[in-house]
A = this chain, B = another copy of it.
Amino acid sequence: MKTILFSQEDIRKVVSHVGIDSFMDQMIKRFYAALREFDAEKNPTPKRSGFQYTSPIVGLLEWMPVMQVGEHITVKIVGYHPENPDKKQLPTILSTISFFDATSGHLIGLADGTFLTAVRTGAASGVASDLLAHPDSKVIGLIGAGAQAITQLHAVLRVRRIEEVLVYDTDDAAAQSFQQRAADIHSNIRVASLDELTEGSDIICTATSVGIGEGPVFEDRNLKPWVHVNAVGADFPGKIEVPLSLLKRSAVCPDFLAQTSVEGECQQLAPGEIGPNLAELAQQAERFSELQQQPTVFDSTGWALEDQVAMALLMEIAEPAGAGTLIQLESISDDPLDPYKFLNDAENTSRGAKVSATESLDKVRA
């Protein structure tokens, strides 16, 4: 009973095998399909929980579980530490995804989720943009030019014919370096002022590390009448990116209402002011197609269902790509009733020297 392990090198192999564009396309399509088939009974996704802290450093570590009843359980453990890029040369968001057999608890696969999280968060905005953005959207504005902005842009490019990319970041160096970082994705990227960006964009993606109580990150002024916002940064109680007046006059569509009400833009709204969720949109796309002509906000906090789709895609491409390493992780033997038996199973190993119990008796409390 082995476990398949996906390291950075394995993720590289998988993406090289199909190409990053096709990988993103497949993630978008599969997430779309998962939304259309979504049934909360068969696919329960409890609200994530975790540790949130502000001292000695701002951060959180959360677990995001989802079950396909009787089949698999996917658990992502994800960290968010906004000081990582500056202080530790690490991404803000790091994560690991574990994939279990829901009939035995066996760990089938384990993968780095850092890359997959960036891609699936992009893919969710790709789906939302395809459903909600104006069909002729040509200009996208990115507020926050960090790691998530790359995959936001990439995903939206897969669903709309974007001609110009405007970028703004409170950290000018991040805005300036974006063009180079995204050079493989789009050739027409320009750093813009916040006003220029909000006025000119058909689609706006906010992916910032704005502080708690310090949002919103732009103003509701001179926006296009059909502006669509992918708001992906809010993930903390009190953290918001979108101005309230825009939310009030928009169709605000949560990824997962139980979460967005606590840590997303929906914190700012009463229940009656919140629009259809992403699964409802995908299941009744025709009915909601008029929303493309009016202001819309995708309130994206990140949903475990996205991780389930990402892990399944990785597992599927792994085989033709020759990626992944099988390891004997679990300490088991041919006798499930003897937790020590595996110690003697291999050659040249033993349970080690016997130590008399009486010798140690008085040392326990030492």
Contact = CB atoms under 8 A, between A and B. Distances in A.
B332 A114 contact: yes
Contacts of A148: 339
Interface stretch (A92-100, A213-221, A226-234, A292-300): A92-100
Interface of A: 1, 5, 7-9, 11-13, 15-23, 25, 28-29, 32, 44, 46, 49-51, 53, 55-57, 59, 61, 63, 65, 67, 69-70, 73, 75, 77-81, 84-85, 88-96, 98, 100, 102-107, 110, 112, 114-115, 118-119, 126-127, 130, 145-148, 150-151, 157-161, 174, 177, 181, 184, 285, 327-332, 334-343, 346, 349-355, 357-358, 360-361, 363-366
A101 B165 CA distance: 36
A40 to B, nearest CB: 14
Contacts of A102: 51, 53, 59, 61
Contacts of A365: 32, 130, 285
Given A57-B70, A75-B77, 13 more contacts: A8-B330, A16-B349, A19-B352, A20-B351, A25-B363, A61-B75, A61-B102, A81-B104, A94-B104, A118-B339, A158-B357, A177-B337, A181-B337
Nearest to A358: B161
9 contacts: A5-B5, A15-B343, A77-B100, A85-B336, A115-B331, A161-B357, A184-B340, A184-B351, A285-B365
Contact of A78 (B67, B105, B119, B147): B105
* 8 tightest A-B CB contacts, nearest first: A79-B105, A19-B352, A118-B339, A115-B331, A21-B355, A85-B336, A20-B351, A94-B105
B336 A151 contact: no
B343 A56 contact: no
Contacts of A75: 61, 63, 77
Contacts of A177: 337
Contacts of A336: 84-85, 89-92, 147
Contacts of A361: 158-161
Contact of A350 (B16, B146, B158): B16
Contacts of A19: 351-355
A59 B105 contact: yes
A150 B341 CA distance: 11
Nearest to A12: B349
A185 to B, nearest CB: 8
A349 B147 CA distance: 21
Contacts of A118: 339
Nearest to A127: B364
Contacts of A160: 361
Nearest to A122: B339
Contacts of A90: 1, 104-106, 332, 336
Nearest to A365: B32
A88 B336 CA distance: 9
A333 B225 CA distance: 40
Nearest to A53: B69
Contacts of A32: 364-365
A311 to B, nearest CB: 14
A158 B360 contact: yes
Given A51-B73, A363-B25, A338 B115 contact: no
Nearest to A91: B336
Contacts of A346: 9, 12
